[in-house]
Amino acid sequence: MTAILIHEVGPRDGLQMEKAVVPFERKLEWIRGLAGAGLDVVQVGSFVHPAKVPQMADTDRLFAELRAGPLRAGVVLSGLVLNEKGLERASAAGVGLLCMGVSASETHSRKNTGMAVAEAAARIVAMAKAAMAAGTRVQVSVQSAFGCGYEGAVSEERVLGLVRLYVENGITNVSLADTAGHAVPDAVARMYDNVYALSPGLDCACHFHDTYGLGLANVWAAMRAGVTQVETSVAGLGGCPFTKIAGGNVCTEDFVHMLQRSGQRADVRLEALLAIANDVAAYFGRQMPGKVYKTGPIGAAGVTA
């Protein structure tokens, strides 16, 4: 397999479901720690209205502080935008990778953005093209790509239609997001095969939720199909507040542990990720979905293969 880029989404997707707002300094410490551990991209937050997602109210301030340093050289800071106002804020903040997307589910789209799929798609494509014209890196996604908690199955052609729209507009960094956690490995492999058939030059990412325990299996299937970017969340935090049953993301440290057991990404400091996961669990006062922060990695003292 090609070397895998790890996109940490915990500070955004991981925290947006939490009722207890994490203080600015604690969040800043986690983000710096994740970047320092060797992850390639860290998603700092989303540029949304603070009344809708209070956890994201400090996103602009976080970017300002992080850009002032210190931060590991080479790490990219990403941010999510949903509309033109968010794009203006993200541009002013100096976001390194702009993430935006459209749901393949009409119900999820309306709950998440207040727009029908067609309207959301037109606006996102226009925003992506404007951002790229200004020299900013952009990743677009198809949300609810493998099913919807409200509608159930989502047709593969609807997903491919959105990817086709991106490709036709020159947008080639595309992520498929399993917002509801409905994906199974066979469907994942088939979907990515069909996506790459649309345009072999696509730079594809995957974003899986572990709602039904298939997160890592789905990631593995995506990697086997050629995906080179994987979005994960420290401690397995996360879940979309606008889906019916919210499940956490694939856990970053569990994924890194799997990669390293497979001979990849020895450069990532797993012990640093485990320390952050333990701190996240301590802060929220509960066990997190992640496994390896509780068991310890194979090969550590007292843990044998």
Tokens read off for 178: 């399993």
141 with 101: CB under 8 angstroms? yes
The three-class DSSP label of residue 179 is: coil
Listed in sequence order, the residues at least 6 apart from 159 whose beta carbon sits closer than 8 Å to its beta carbon are 104, 142, 145, 176, 191
Closest CA to 96 of 139, 142, 34: 139
204, 206, 240, 251: the catalytic one is 240
The 8-class DSSP code of residue 271 comes to H
Q: Is 251 a catalytic residue?
A: no
Closest CA to 241 of 217, 209, 268, 272: 209
Q: Where are the alpha helices (DSSP H) in the chain?
A: 24-36, 59-67, 84-93, 106-113, 117-133, 156-168, 185-198, 215-224, 252-261, 270-284, 292-295
The whole-angstrom separation of Cα 172 and Cα 231 is 17
Amino acid letter, residue 272: A
The three-class DSSP label of residue 78 is: strand
The whole-angstrom separation of Cα 154 and Cα 115 is 18
The whole-angstrom separation of Cα 251 and Cα 22 is 19
Closest CA to 27 of 47, 39, 44, 41: 44
Tokens read off for 87: 């794009």
Which are the catalytic amino acids?
240
